[in-house]
Structure 1
Amino acid sequence: MSGQQPDRGGASQIFQPLAGDDPTTVAGYRLAAKLGAGGMGKVYLSYTPGGRAVAIKVIRPEFGDDPEFRRRFAQEVQSAQRVQGLFTAPVIDADTDGPRPWLATAYVPGPSLADAVVAHGALPVETVLLLIAGMAEALQVIHGAGIVHRDLKPSNVLLAADGPRVIDFGIAYAADATSLTGSGVAIGTPSFMAPEQAAGRRVTPATDIFALGQVAAYAATGTPAFGEGTSHGVLYRIVHEEPDLSRVPERLAELVTRTLAKDPEARPSVAEVIALCQSANAETVLRRPEDWLPSTVAADITVRTAAPAPDRTPPPPGYSPTAPAIPSAAYSPTAPATPTPVPVPVPVPAPGLFPTAPATPVHARPYPYGAPVPPGPAPRPSASAGKRGVLIALAAALVFGVAGGATAYVLLKDKDKDQGRQTQGGGAPQGDQKGTGSARPSATPSARPQPKPAAYKGIDLTAGYHLTLGDDDVRPQDGEDGGYELSYDTGGYLDAESSGGSLVLLDAGQEGSLAACRADTRYTQEVYVDKLSKGRQVCVTTGTGHIGLVTVRGFSAEDSPSTYLTLDLTVWRDAAGSSSNG
């Protein structure tokens, strides 16, 4: 899906009316206009109840029907909701389980970089420096959330009055994981891919740095650095040839050249990109004025600010529009749609009647939400019935109070007898010593046996393979998606596959053990390999009750025909439910 507004021109072209096959609402959001369409689906304009404009992206049915896409899409949306940067369009709402998956991001009233360059030509050097520095800050936040954008291109960069906005981070990864990528659905733009991405190798944050260099060259010259043409031709040049930087301004030459290095390790980090922008600027500190964009581009922002409002008249009861609606849970961008507990009325005794008998809290009762009530109006109690009810309640309370007092007396008396027997016998009651009499549980419960560790050294876990910790002989097996317990996903991360499984990346220098894995609660579903280094450890808790400790020992060489991770694995089987520390 390529941005919020792929078409340029006047308001009538930007805000397109809804067609017959467009929904009128999405999960309670009334749609005001269509902003565009792309390979992933369609983008609509709507508003929150408070009046905030949002862009709602409805995924194409082909993707919604793919279970693998839904799984990856749910993971990426969950990660994207943690991204809250100054130069990103935050994800504020989503539904990954409905008939048509969708997500809502903040609407940015500005053209995409692609539209601006096509309409008005290359941007000035000062604008490009501010553009790239802002995009680098966005990548810093995105990468910090464990996301690699994978599809950073001019149409995924929006130009707002106060700086750029990077959108659609993580969605391309969900699309890449589906079978649709081999059936004619084009995902990504070849002109802005990195060499390792084009060659099908491991994707890392450095992949986004290469795309950032391509975006800089495009913004400064108006053409892609590796030219245009067929996808195969462009991808060949990206992998094997050098870019054409003859038209790149001198002040941008070092920035573009370093970011477009073929070797990912040779590319600058995000912080170094920002430093290169600062050094290329006349000032030592980048300052973003209100008029950071050329006046012609700024005029496009004015057009997009005048967004149309949806029809605020609610439909009459029973009204069924001809256009379909996408059902989902009611609008709730910040809180999950969980049922609100209904308080049960509790009779309150008269003041001073039972000063020592506290009322039973509602949440401690067997039916916290009350017993089911049959449909129809409840009969009104008569006055005499009400009086009888009060008298019965008072009588019952007195009976229970007397019975409770008698019970407490008997228990205290029995306790005194037990203590006397223990004193006379010098230990446990005589009946217990003989194995007769009342059997009472001991004060100290018997500890569960300590699970024994099983160690597996030097496992080469290849991308696309998995481990099952419950196996007697744990060894890599083909497959990365399913009910497995730990897999090395071809997307470049370790994945807790089994239902209820989780991972914890221990801090550098933190000593891994069974106790450490039990105590640490920084759970995640996946850990990207680029965050790992030799000696780092990952705790694995499986849905089947096992705990494993992964210790990274090395990585495959660059010239290796396969991508793999060398690791040591210690497994404590059936240890997840045990309370003893190891």
Structure 2
Amino acid sequence: MDSTVASTPPWERSPPRPRRPTGGLEEGEEIARGRTVLRGIGGGRRYEALLVWDEHRLAVLVAKVLRPDQATAPVALHDLRREADLLQRLGHPVIVRGFGAVLDPPRGGGARPHEPAGRGPFPHLVLEHLDGPTLDELLKDGQTLALEQLLPLGLHMASALHYLAAEGIVHLDVKPSNVVMGGPPRLIDLSVARTVREAAALRSPIGTDAFMAPEQCEPDGRLGPPADVFGLAATLYTGLTGTRPFPPCEERWPQLTAAPSKLPRRTPRALADVLLAGLDPDPSARPTAREVAVALEPLVAALPRRMTLGRR
């Protein structure tokens, strides 16, 4: 669920680590007053992802709960607060919505009857529940998307990234597993997102190896919204071909030295131009998210319309 600094390449990975500690939360248990666990749905290094019932909203939501070994860690709490703050200030139909966070355990042994729902001993972030597969799940075993799916997806994602850039935010982890397919699709997981100023100040790799722009691999002060355009281009390339634009090799980040693999001949020229421009190693040479949207819009408009039956 959460992304952190760039992952270690397979040839440098150590043996499997022990199972990450969990809070031992089971169905029916409360993580806060009026917020009960339905089931676990995954997680990451820092978080458990739980499907929860929120009595205040009478709705099923998702809670990202800090694991026990992270629940009092200043860095983990800081990052959870940053993600909650970013989600609170954002409002876009293609970006997952946040519904607040619980960051500090209550004093005196628990919530009192007059306290609002959402206070409890488990620091967590609350998100809307999106009922649909991720793009990554749809692309298992080399599957691909038809242009009728891919082009609207690209247009939606470009609109979300244009909005984020206008808000002064860089997502930094645009990839198939962070896209939930639906109508419309949703961009999720802002756990490593930064403001433009914070992104420019980074000096350590951040993101997911295969979808990182070169300036994410070796931050040098140029990291900003163009990195998200690179991630989008790599994501759409993967959706179109079923493979990553830079196949794994002995180098951790082949995108630093290699050109992307050739696209299939069936790829419309206008789409190929957008994808290759988005994968340019020079961030200043990439199109903006707005320019990607403008380039994709006529391709989407030209798609066959669903046939409807009129009166005869």
The alpha-carbon distance between structure 1 residues 51 and 187, as it changes in their structure 2 partners (threshold 3 A), is: farther
Counterpart in 2 of 1:59? Answer: 66
The alpha-carbon distance between structure 1 residues 109 and 128, as it changes in their structure 2 partners (threshold 3 A), is: same
The C-alpha deviation readout for 1:78-133, integer Å capped at 9, x for no partner, is 12211111111101121233464311111000001101111681000121111111
Counterpart in 1 of 2:273? Answer: 254
The alpha-carbon distance between structure 1 residues 143 and 40, as it changes in their structure 2 partners (threshold 3 A), is: farther
Counterpart in 1 of 2:90? Answer: 83
CA distance in 1, matches of 2:232, 2:31: 34
Q: Is this contact kept in 1: 2:172–2:206, CA < 8 A? A: no
Task: Give runs of aligned pairs for residues 548-567 of structure 1, distance below 5 A.
Answer: none
CA distance in 1, matches of 2:215, 2:298: 29
Of the three residues 22, 25, 32, the one matched with 1:22 is 25
- The alignment status of 1:48 with 2:54, answered yes or no, reads yes
**C-alpha displacement at 1:75, in angstroms?**
2.9
Of the three residues 217, 220, 224, the one matched with 2:244 is 224
Of the three residues 120, 125, 131, the one matched with 1:109 is 131
Larger Rg: 1
Counterpart in 2 of 1:195? Answer: 214
- The alignment status of 1:270 with 2:289, answered yes or no, reads yes
Runs of at least 4 residues off by over 4 Å: 286-289
- The alignment status of 1:39 with 2:45, answered yes or no, reads yes
For structure 2, list consecutive stretches of 5 or more residues without a partner in the other structure.
4-21, 106-120, 307-312
Counterpart in 2 of 1:243? Answer: 260
Q: Is this contact kept in 2: 1:217–1:248, CA < 8 A? A: no
C-alpha RMSD over aligned residues? 2.9
Counterpart in 2 of 1:469? Answer: none
The C-alpha deviation readout for 1:55-95, integer Å capped at 9, x for no partner, is 11112344444323423432332122111111111011212
The alpha-carbon distance between structure 1 residues 288 and 133, as it changes in their structure 2 partners (threshold 3 A), is: farther
**C-alpha displacement at 1:20, in angstroms?**
7.9
CA distance in 2, matches of 1:96, 1:207: 30
Q: Is this contact kept in 1: 2:132–2:181, CA < 8 A? A: yes
- AA aligned to 1:32 is L
Of the three residues 148, 157, 171, the one matched with 1:126 is 148
CA distance in 2, matches of 1:213, 1:156: 14
The alpha-carbon distance between structure 1 residues 262 and 220, as it changes in their structure 2 partners (threshold 3 A), is: same
The alpha-carbon distance between structure 1 residues 249 and 57, as it changes in their structure 2 partners (threshold 3 A), is: farther
Counterpart in 2 of 1:71? Answer: 78
Q: Is this contact kept in 1: 2:133–2:181, CA < 8 A? A: yes
CA distance in 2, matches of 1:61, 1:265: 43
Aligned residues with identical type, % of pairs: 29
CA distance in 1, matches of 2:259, 2:233: 13
**C-alpha displacement at 1:147, in angstroms?**
1.9
**C-alpha displacement at 1:154, in angstroms?**
0.7
Of the three residues 185, 188, 194, the one matched with 1:164 is 185
Counterpart in 1 of 2:104? Answer: 97
- The alignment status of 1:281 with 2:300, answered yes or no, reads yes
The alpha-carbon distance between structure 1 residues 219 and 79, as it changes in their structure 2 partners (threshold 3 A), is: same
Q: Is this contact kept in 2: 1:217–1:245, CA < 8 A? A: no
- AA aligned to 1:274 is A
CA distance in 2, matches of 1:210, 1:34: 32
CA distance in 2, matches of 1:239, 1:268: 19
SS in 2 for 1:244: coil
Task: Give runs of aligned pairs for residues 276-425 of structure 1, distance below 5 A.
Answer: 276-281=295-300, 283=302
For structure 1, list consecutive stretches of 5 or more residues without a partner in the other structure.
4-18, 290-582
**C-alpha displacement at 1:36, in angstroms?**
1.1
Question: Aligned pairs, how many?
Answer: 260
**C-alpha displacement at 1:229, in angstroms?**
5.1
Q: Is this contact kept in 2: 1:258–1:268, CA < 8 A? A: yes
CA distance in 2, matches of 1:148, 1:288: 34
- The alignment status of 1:141 with 2:160, answered yes or no, reads no
Counterpart in 1 of 2:13? Answer: none
The alpha-carbon distance between structure 1 residues 110 and 214, as it changes in their structure 2 partners (threshold 3 A), is: same
- AA aligned to 2:88 is Q
- AA aligned to 1:71 is H
The C-alpha deviation readout for 1:271-322, integer Å capped at 9, x for no partner, is 1111111233352xx8997xxxxxxxxxxxxxxxxxxxxxxxxxxxxxxxxx
The alpha-carbon distance between structure 1 residues 279 and 40, as it changes in their structure 2 partners (threshold 3 A), is: farther
SS in 2 for 1:253: helix
Scaled by the length of structure 2, the TM-score of the pair is 0.74
CA distance in 1, matches of 2:91, 2:193: 20
Q: Is this contact kept in 2: 1:2–1:155, CA < 8 A? A: no
CA distance in 2, matches of 1:288, 1:90: 30
CA distance in 1, matches of 2:252, 2:305: 34
Of the three residues 229, 240, 265, the one matched with 1:209 is 229
The alpha-carbon distance between structure 1 residues 41 and 111, as it changes in their structure 2 partners (threshold 3 A), is: same
The C-alpha deviation readout for 1:4-27, integer Å capped at 9, x for no partner, is xxxxxxxxxxxxxxx982352222
Scaled by the length of structure 1, the TM-score of the pair is 0.41
CA distance in 1, matches of 2:45, 2:158: 26
- AA aligned to 2:189 is D
Task: Give runs of aligned pairs for residues 498-537 of structure 1, distance below 5 A.
Answer: none
**C-alpha displacement at 1:140, in angstroms?**
2.4
SS in 1 for 2:180: strand
SS in 1 for 2:132: coil
CA distance in 2, matches of 1:238, 1:255: 17
